[in-house]
Amino acid sequence: MSALTPAHAAVLRAVDRCGTTVEAARELHLTQSAISKIVARSEASLGIAVFDRRDGRLVLRPQAHALMRALGAVEDEWRALRGSVADLRSGRALPLRIASTPSIGQGLIAQSIRRIVTEYPQARIELIMGDAPTELSQGSADLGVMFSPRVTDDIALTPLSHASIIALVREDDPLACRGSITLGDLRHRRLICFDREKSPLGWLIARAYEEAGLDYAPFMTVPYSISAAHLLARHGDVTLIDSLLTQAQRFDGLVKLEVTPTLPLTICLMTVRSRPLSRLAGRFVDILISGEKAD
């Protein structure tokens, strides 16, 4: 015997409201015989008579009032569920959570977000500034985009694009007119840079210093390139940051210098191998990888 379904609940409620199968059929745009069959089938599946038949009318049995209220809740809840499906489809119910750094967020990711919101105008997006591998492992992010990250086996890396380390100095700095510098040129300068343990960029720069026979000893360490650029305006002489930041944002009074030999960076997409992506996240990955831009 078929179980009570939400559609059956709607029919029983309509019959209760209208009092006849003819009226209920009109209200629900069904035939009268279909309504009669559904009422009979529902009563059979519930194992009780819901209505008394009196003078051609169906009258709710006194003991079925609580049941009718329960059927009302069925109608309301299933209507709400249909609305939730639309929210899921539009990306409103499940946010796309991307862990990244400000410079990647303002450049590469901002462009891709611009593209995806043309397809999913109602999508909710959370841009998380934090340690992407940790956010991914904890399940608080769906995707991560980072410079050359160090990750566990469960995180898949897909190279997206390349950048390099550049130096920023104030425009009144003697180095400002040089166009490019070596790490040796920075030997006696007060450096604002990344911690070698906490940041992949810090690790990369520290290694380059060691290969050049220099001590890597920033006097101030920062988590992000953007923090370094802002601090440089007041403290320190020079900072080494990723080249994406100055592509995305202008810093008045600061001059960008190439570093030779080049310190290349790879920007990688990170996804968790054991966790499937939502459709929205999957589409975002496609956009990132293909480099699609908004029209």
Partner 1 sequence: MKLNAVQVIDAFVRLGGTGEAAQGLAISQSAVIKSLHQAEHELDLSLVATVQGRLTPTPEAIELMRLARPALGSLRRARHEADMIRVGMADRLRIATVPGLAHSILPPAIAATRLALNDSAAVEVIFDHVRDHLAAGDVDLAISYGPIAIDGLLDVVLKRCPLVCVLGRPHPLAGLDALTHADLDGERLISYGPDGVSRSDSFQAALEQAGLTDRISITVRHTDTACHLAREGVGIAVVDGFVISSGLTEGLAVRPLEESPLVTAYAHHRDGAPLDRAAGILLDHLAGAAT
Residue type, 251: F
Site string for partner 1, 44-63 (x = CB under 8 A): --xxx--------------x
First to last CA, the chain: 55
User: In this chain, which stretch among 42-50, 174-182, 198-206, 222-230 interacts with partner 1, using CB under 8 A?
Assistant: 42-50
Nearer to partner 1, 122 or 180 (CB): 122
Q: What separation in angstroms does the CA of 146 have from each of 98, 213, 248?
A: 10, 28, 16
Burial of 227 (0-12, 13-18, 19+ CB in 10 A): middle
Strands 155-170 and 254-259: antiparallel
Query: How many residues in the chain?
Result: 295
Number of residues counted as binding partner 1 (CB under 8 A): 39
User: In this chain, which stretch among 41-49, 129-137, 179-187, 210-218 interacts with partner 1, using CB under 8 A?
Assistant: 41-49
283's tokens: 């589409």
Closest approach, Cβ 87 to partner 1, in A, equals: 8
User: In this chain, which stretch among 43-51, 168-176, 224-232, 249-257 interacts with partner 1, using CB under 8 A?
Assistant: 43-51
Strands 96-100 and 143-147: parallel
User: In this chain, which stretch among 75-83, 199-207, 238-246, 255-263 interacts with partner 1, using CB under 8 A?
Assistant: 75-83
If you ran DSSP here, which 8-state letter would residue 285 be given? H
Closest approach, Cβ 65 to partner 1, in A, equals: 8
172's tokens: 């009144």
Task: List 240's β-bridge partners, or say none.
Answer: 167
Residues 228-287 that bind partner 1 (CB under 8 A): 273-279, 281-282
Residue for token digits 């009092």?
A: 19
250's tokens: 């202008």
Nearer to partner 1, 266 or 282 (CB): 282
Closest approach, Cβ 128 to partner 1, in A, equals: 16
Which residues are within 8 A (CB) of 238 and not within 5 positions of it... i.e. 6 or more apart?
A: 167, 168, 169, 173, 175, 186, 189, 190, 191, 192, 232
Give the angle subtended at the CA of 96 by the CAs of 90 and 98, to the nearest 5°: 160
Nearer to partner 1, 153 or 295 (CB): 153
Nearer to partner 1, 137 or 247 (CB): 137
Closest approach, Cβ 14 to partner 1, in A, equals: 15
Task: List 53's β-bridge partners, or say none.
Answer: 58
Residues 77-116 that bind partner 1 (CB under 8 A): 77-78, 80-82, 84-85, 88-89, 93-94
Nearer to partner 1, 63 or 262 (CB): 63
Nearer to partner 1, 66 or 172 (CB): 66
Residue type, 91: G
Q: How far apart, in whole angstroms, are the C-alpha atoms of residue 132 and residue 104?
A: 12
| Single residue of 15, 25, 71, 132 touching partner 1 by CB under 8 A | 71
Q: Is 73 in the site for partner 1 (CB under 8 A)?
A: yes
User: Which residues of this chain interact with partner 1, rule CB under 8 A?
Assistant: 3-6, 9, 46-48, 63-64, 66-67, 69-71, 73-74, 76-78, 80-82, 84-85, 88-89, 93-94, 142, 273-279, 281-282
